[in-house]
Structure 1
Amino acid sequence: MTTMTKTEDTPAPTGPEAFLSVRDLRVRFSTEDGIVNAVDGLSFDVERGKTLGIVGESGSGKSVTNLTVLGLHNPKTSAVDGSIRLDGQELTDAPEKELEKLRGNKVAMIFQDPLTALSPYYTVGRQIAEPFMKHTGASKKQAKARAIEMLDKVGIPQPALRFNDYPHQFSGGMRQRAMIAMALICNPDLLIADEPTTALDVTVQAQILDLLKDLQQEFGSAIIFITHDLGVIANMADDLLVMYAGRAVERGSVREVLTAPQHPYTWGLLSSMPRLGGDIDEALTPIPGSPPSLLNPPSGCPFHPRCTFTDKVEDSRCSGERPQLAEGRAAACHLTSQQKQTIFIDQIKPRLG
């Protein structure tokens, strides 16, 4: 792995250094069919005590980005370039032993499917207690007491008894709560939640989201919340990053992006969602086409083959020139600011109600 120096295409952070700062991150996988550009020049910041939401379709690079932050990619089949700085420490060239000290301690992850993330051979309590012993040097007795405390904190009834249960004895919602307890047992400064409510029913999903917000207030952790559900992100995040084909296409505060989106892909995501209080028979507006192959991504703007507004851009810039994402509130699109505003007000906003 190599660390890239800042270039004109790698925007520098503005203001105080963020707790997590990612600059020009590129992740490539070698496959039998060729090189997959899973993440292609991604930059973002996460501040202490804040939540960054990352949204996009499957295959947009959301999970790969955050696994790379944790150093969980396979160095034999992948190449990573760019800069990942956690609390001022560069991670892209950090040795594995240093990364092991950070995982589960300074930074932790809640995986999408707790049934596969938890080992079926060990009790839930033992799996929660293990990182606490590893990172703090606590005894088994101390770690058990801490694990029971965390099970209670995340709402598991009779935590002292459930400590000895195996994952298959927990419901889906309880397994997810156990994963959250494991992630938070060492009070991490950064928590990465990779679609943590995907497999849960709506009631349990709401409970888990409320739990994460309450625990964030208690521990002061920064959170990266990965999802494809804009409805969930509206209630969870402070800032929002929209990804497409391994790149960031729009970013800003949640309020800015969801109330005044500037990129045609974001318009498509919002238009394809059912409206709260809308007509039950109301037709949704899907995004035409399919996401591009990352083995052979399109030239220019990666979204242009699916975009219905390319005719408003002159000189075929959409297919020939890749738009850049500026710092701060921005969208990587060749449409002018006036065109974006006019299209949104006249065509998109009426769909959203």
Structure 2
Amino acid sequence: MTTLTKTEDTPPPTGPEGFLSVRDLSVRFATEDGVVKAVDGLSFDVERGRTLGIVGESGSGKSVTNLTILGLHNPHSTTIDGEIVFDGKELITATERELEQLRGNRIAMIFQDPLTAMSPYYTVGRQIAEPFRKHTGASKQEAWNRAVEMLGKVGIPNPAQRAKDYPHQFSGGMRQRAMIAMALVCDPDLLIADEPTTALDVTVQAQILDLLKDLQQEFGSAIVFITHDLGVIADVADDIMVMYAGSAVERGSTDQVLRAPRHPYTWGLLNSMPRLDSDLSAALAPIPGTPPSLLNPPSGCRFHPRCTFQDRVGGNRCVTERPLLGADRSSACHLTTEQKRSIFIEEIRPRLG
């Protein structure tokens, strides 16, 4: 039997506080093989003008969390519990009509692959103009002018002409810029970016990240940035939440999490990243094992089957007791604060350089 224990002195969040507040969110999918526990007891806040980076391996629940915020799930096979409050509005109980008024207007999303997210049958300009017309009541000409303006803002050369092109006529980087223009056309208050740079080369990736930061300063949007790459997160995020197997295992400011991480999973992510100043022949240090099946997640701490530090805790606690994340700067791990500090300083940091 698994019991739940808090591992930090600070209590978990208890009510809506941020511009976007997620409280004890659980998302389950019914499948032929059983119930997938995609998100389990997740809580976090995002403030206006700040960027929250959500990082973790594939299958950790990052994208499911943000699709749930937008209400983009199958209501017939999905069970959702908890609270999602956006600017005082509860989203889980919102009607489809209410969600449609928010999507693309006050909340927008940049998808990972714009080639599949954009229609091949309509010009780029029309696809950017359409949500602006829908949400503002602008005329066709006004909406088209706005689309051209936004293409210019995201750095598309000759935007008046390129707006007439179709997605397949754009390069990968230009398509991603067009997707950002579409997301920002209505000046959203919250922008969700789902691994928007994964398929891009390093140079274009850096351009997109700089573009997002510049546009955030201009529009003042809150951003939720999803990625599996801590290197990317370091460039864009004010705060970081690390997810594993449907739950948050560590949370804090970007500086706190990257300079003094407290969870063995975060240590593993950092340790598996290549370094520019390292020996090119040196092997990377991957996290042992594989992420668990969310049909039947491990008891106790979900990371314990892959954790090399559970013997430091003593007894069978990592297997039987599930550690919970506290508020603010915290990590869900049974190691004591002093143990975490000592292990990081003496064993982890020397490997990171």
Cα distance between partner residues in 2 of 1:298 and 1:74:
26
Aligned to 2:14: 12
Provide Cα deviations, 1:236-264, integer angstroms capped at 9, x if missing partner. 00000000000000000000000100000
Aligned to 1:291: 291
Aligned to 1:344: 344
CA contact (8 A) 1:10 1:23 kept: no
Provide Cα deviations, 1:127-173, integer angstroms capped at 9, x if missing partner. 00000000000000000000000000001111111111010000000
DSSP-derived class of the 1:322 partner? strand
CA contact (8 A) 2:194 2:227 kept: yes
Cα distance between partner residues in 1 of 2:12 and 2:55:
22
Aligned to 1:85: 85
**Aligned-partner residue type, residue 259 of structure 1:** R
Aligned to 2:128: 128
DSSP-derived class of the 2:39 partner? strand
Cα distance between partner residues in 2 of 1:300 and 1:250:
16
Aligned to 2:304: 304
Q: Equivalent residues in 2 for 1:251-290 (5 A)?
A: 251-290=251-290
Q: TM-score, normalised by structure 2?
A: 0.96
**Aligned-partner residue type, residue 278 of structure 2:** G
**Aligned-partner residue type, residue 334 of structure 2:** H
How far is 1:78 from its partner? 0.5
Cα distance between partner residues in 2 of 1:275 and 1:352:
8
How far is 1:283 from its partner? 2.4
**Aligned-partner residue type, residue 349 of structure 1:** R
Aligned to 2:22: 22
Q: TM-score, normalised by structure 1?
A: 0.96
Are residues 19 and 25 of structure 1, via their aligned partners in 2, closer, same or farther at CA, if it must alter by over 3 Å? same
How far is 1:206 from its partner? 0.5
**Aligned-partner residue type, residue 346 of structure 1:** E
Cα distance between partner residues in 1 of 2:12 and 2:122:
45
CA contact (8 A) 1:239 1:254 kept: yes
The higher-RCO structure (CA 8 Å, 6+ apart) is 2
Cα distance between partner residues in 2 of 1:222 and 1:329:
20
Q: Which runs of 5+ in 2 are unaligned?
A: 1-10
DSSP-derived class of the 1:142 partner? helix
Q: 2:237 matched to 1:237?
A: yes
Aligned to 2:61: 61
Cα distance between partner residues in 2 of 1:255 and 1:352:
15
Aligned to 1:222: 222
Provide Cα deviations, 1:278-298, integer angstroms capped at 9, x if missing partner. 222222211000000000000
Per mean C-alpha deviation after superposition, the further-off stretch among 283-292 and 234-243 is 283-292
Cα distance between partner residues in 2 of 1:318 and 1:179:
43
Provide Cα deviations, 1:20-76, integer angstroms capped at 9, x if missing partner. 000000000000000000000000000000000000000000000000000001101
Q: 2:46 matched to 1:46?
A: yes
**Aligned-partner residue type, residue 198 of structure 1:** T
Cα distance between partner residues in 1 of 2:214 and 2:203:
17
Cα distance between partner residues in 1 of 2:154 and 2:13:
39
Aligned to 2:3: none
How far is 1:10 from its partner? 6.0
Aligned to 2:4: none
Cα distance between partner residues in 1 of 2:48 and 2:237:
13
How far is 1:275 from its partner? 1.7
Cα distance between partner residues in 2 of 1:288 and 1:159:
48
CA contact (8 A) 2:240 2:254 kept: yes
CA contact (8 A) 1:26 1:81 kept: yes
> Where in structure 1 do 4 or more consecutive aligned residues deviate above 3 Å?
none
Aligned to 2:185: 185
Q: Equivalent residues in 2 for 1:108-257 (5 A)?
A: 108-257=108-257
**Aligned-partner residue type, residue 286 of structure 1:** P
Aligned to 1:4: none
Provide Cα deviations, 1:156-200, integer angstroms capped at 9, x if missing partner. 111111111010000000000000000000000000000000010
Provide Cα deviations, 1:87-145, integer angstroms capped at 9, x if missing partner. 01111100000000000000000000000000001111100000000000000000000
CA contact (8 A) 1:10 1:24 kept: no
Of all paired residues, the percent bearing the same amino acid is: 76
**Aligned-partner residue type, residue 282 of structure 2:** E
DSSP-derived class of the 1:305 partner? helix
Provide Cα deviations, 1:218-244, integer angstroms capped at 9, x if missing partner. 000000000001001001000000000
Cα distance between partner residues in 2 of 1:112 and 1:273:
21
Cα distance between partner residues in 1 of 2:13 and 2:323:
14
Provide Cα deviations, 1:309-346, integer angstroms capped at 9, x if missing partner. 11111221100000010001000000011111111111
Are residues 352 and 305 of structure 1, via their aligned partners in 2, closer, same or farther at CA, if it must alter by over 3 Å? same
Work out the number of aligned pairs and report it.
344
DSSP-derived class of the 2:316 partner? helix
**CA RMSD across the alignment:** 1.2
CA contact (8 A) 2:12 2:325 kept: no
Aligned to 1:321: 321
CA contact (8 A) 2:105 2:188 kept: yes
Cα distance between partner residues in 1 of 2:268 and 2:201:
25
